[in-house]
Amino acid sequence: MVSSAPILAARGVSKAFFGNPVLRSVSISLEPGRIHALLGENGAGKSTLINLLSGALRPDSGTIEIDGRAVSRHSPPEARRAGIAVVQQELSLTNSLSIAENIGLGAYPRRFGLVDYAALAARAKAACDLVGLHEPLATPVGELSLGRRQMVEIAKALYRKPRVLILDEPTSSLSATETRILTALLEKLRGEGIAILYISHRLDEVMQLCQHVTVLKDGTCTADRPLEGVTAAGLVRLMVGRDPGDLFPRWDSTRTERIAVSVGKFSAGLMQDVDLEVRAGEVVGIGGLVGQGQEDLLLGLYGAIPARAASAVINDASGLPSNVPQANSRGLAYVPADRKREGLHLIHPIVTNLMLPSFARMPALKLRSRAKERETAMGLALQFAIKGDLGRAAQALSGGNQQKVALAKWMPLDPSVLLLNDPTRGVDVETKREIYAMLRAFAASGKAVVLLSSDTPELVHLCDRVAVVRDGRIVSLLERGDLSEEAIVAAAMGAERERQAA
């Protein structure tokens, strides 16, 4: 392959948020006539890299180069002028505007200072034809399905006649036909000499479409090479291989025969017809790519969102809880991922935060005993090693201590089933270690723990079993013996499909 000068490149860029390094000296170069794949797990730094390339973020160190020249003040308008177009994962369309208006937004053709709608329609039409959008151009975008909106988004990028096209998971909401159209289109654009950066979690697509691959893991680049001679399994290994160290406790299974939660054909939110069984004394992991419906599974079981099931048994009583107080009285407790908005009341003292689930369960007009509350809270603080004056507002605590409060507040209710939603997100390593030990201790004391996590090593090293969710279904249930990061990621991305087909 003849290598030509890159149109857009990053050289040794680093970026940190609040002292947390997200990218460490990463280089990538996008060359004309090449489809370049960017791979990595959730949180590996892919989005940050895209934002650096498109000028939405400024690197802490390193340079962005356009046509071989370093640009000092890279910004989104600058990037647009240089012909860089990004198709974002979060759709950036305005629902009430028409297809044509959305496509042209920000770059309307003008005539006498007014929008030239005839020219807009003609140019938008050309872009739509490329992506196979045949809906009338005046259709409001809000009336389109998610997949069609994604196509509008791509047409919007093409309207600007880009030299570099960055696509962030473009096929996650597309049907098979749409994906085929997009694949053909990308091949065609490649032939025209456009540089394309393609981010996808679907390895089969990447293998089929791309010529070059960059793999990110924890903010560093683990591979930058032609795709020739690499297998899907090899890519997965590049994405996840890391040393978990002694972050995780050693444990023996304490799984019992008693069934804590058992649901059949359970549906809630994105989850469709899922079967799941959780026994007392075990930790069941819920894995998969972000946003496949895992959270809805927990919230549905917890009675916080509408859910239905053909059969449901929770702690020997049948039926799903229809609201949160009912779930609590049946022994369920839920620790949300967003502790600032869902887990805690930051403006309230730590004591009241720790006591809230108890307040919610007590008779409404029973007189409170401040001394007793304080005693209970002190006990919890001691047990969970929560550092800080209990009378102070919870916002004074560090993220790790806040998370411990969000977990500890349930203990006075002695729940038998703990539903945990990413309990270690944004938590420092030391607290992570403490939380991991607690989770195994809960299981050892006979509680059932459901651990939803976006951190794959957690699932591998803490769980008795892991259910991997994709597209609202549990696609794989891995026993402890079969657990590996490769296996989980492969199931999450559907890499096993190929194996079955082969």
Partner 1 sequence: MSIRDAAFLSRSRLLAIVTSRPFLTFAIVALVWIVASFVTRGFGAYGHLRYLVELAAVIGIVAAGQTFVVIAGGIDLSVAAIVTVAAVGLPLFAIDADPTGLTPILAVLAMTTAIGLVNGLGVALLRVHPMIMTLAMATFLQGLLIIIAGGSAVTAANPLVSWVGNARPFGIPAGILVWVVVSIVVLVVMHATPFGARLFAMGAGPLAAKLSGVPIASTTMAVYGISGFMSGLAGIIVLGMNGQGYVGIGDPYLLASIAAVVLGGTSILGGLGTYAGSIPGAILLVTITALITVVNASPGWRSILFGTLILALLLLSGREAARR
Judged by CB under 8 A, the stretch of 107-115, 191-199, 346-354, 458-466 that binds partner 1 is 346-354
Q: Which of residues 221-240 bind partner 1 (CB under 8 A)?
A: none
Instruction: Please tell me whether residue 363 binds partner 1 under the rule CB under 8 A.
Output: yes
Judged by CB under 8 A, the stretch of 21-29, 42-50, 157-165, 348-356 that binds partner 1 is 348-356
Under a CB-based contact definition with an 8 Å cutoff, are residues 36 and 213 in contact?
yes
What is the rounded (10 degree) CA torsion for 288, 293, 298, 300? -160
> What whole-number distance in Å separates Cα of residue 100 and Cα of residue 124?
6
Q: Which of residues 321-340 bind partner 1 (CB under 8 A)?
A: 323-325, 327-328, 334, 336, 340
- 3-state SS, 171-233, equals CCCCCHHHHHHHHHHHHHHHHCCCEEEEECCCHHHHHHHCCEEEEEECCEEEEEEECCCCCHH
Q: Which of residues 399-438 bind partner 1 (CB under 8 A)?
A: 409
Instruction: Please tell me whether residue 315 binds partner 1 under the rule CB under 8 A.
Output: no
Q: How far is the CB of 440 from partner 1 (least distance, A)?
A: 24
Distances (CA, A) of 460 to 70, 275, 283, 488: 43, 21, 11, 8
**Helix axis angle, 370-383 relative to 399-408, nearest 10°?**
120
Instruction: Please tell me whether residue 372 binds partner 1 under the rule CB under 8 A.
Output: no
Q: Which of residues 277-306 bind partner 1 (CB under 8 A)?
A: 302, 304
Instruction: Please tell me whether residue 494 binds partner 1 under the rule CB under 8 A.
Output: no
Q: How far is the CB of 384 from partner 1 (least distance, A)?
A: 17
Q: How far is the CB of 331 from partner 1 (least distance, A)?
A: 12
Query: Which of 107, 310, 359, 414 is the binder for partner 1 (CB under 8 A)?
Result: 359
Q: What share of the chain is helix, strand, coil (3-state, %, to 5)?
A: 35, 25, 35
Q: How far is the CB of 332 from partner 1 (least distance, A)?
A: 10
Q: How far is the CB of 298 from partner 1 (least distance, A)?
A: 11
* Binding residue count for partner 1, defined by CB under 8 A: 35
Instruction: Please tell me whether residue 384 binds partner 1 under the rule CB under 8 A.
Output: no
Q: How many CB atoms lie within 10 A of CB 67?
A: 13
Only one residue has tokens 């005693």, namely 375
Under a CB-based contact definition with an 8 Å cutoff, are residues 439 and 417 in contact?
no
SS3 for 94?
coil
Instruction: Please tell me whether residue 378 binds partner 1 under the rule CB under 8 A.
Output: no
Judged by CB under 8 A, the stretch of 122-130, 225-233, 341-349, 461-469 that binds partner 1 is 341-349
The amino acid that residue 409 corresponds to is: K
Instruction: Please tell me whether residue 352 binds partner 1 under the rule CB under 8 A.
Output: yes
Token couple for 55? 């000028």
Q: How far is the CB of 51 from partner 1 (least distance, A)?
A: 24
Q: Which residues bind partner 1 (CB under 8 A)?
A: 302, 304, 323-325, 327-328, 334, 336, 340-348, 352, 355-368, 395, 409
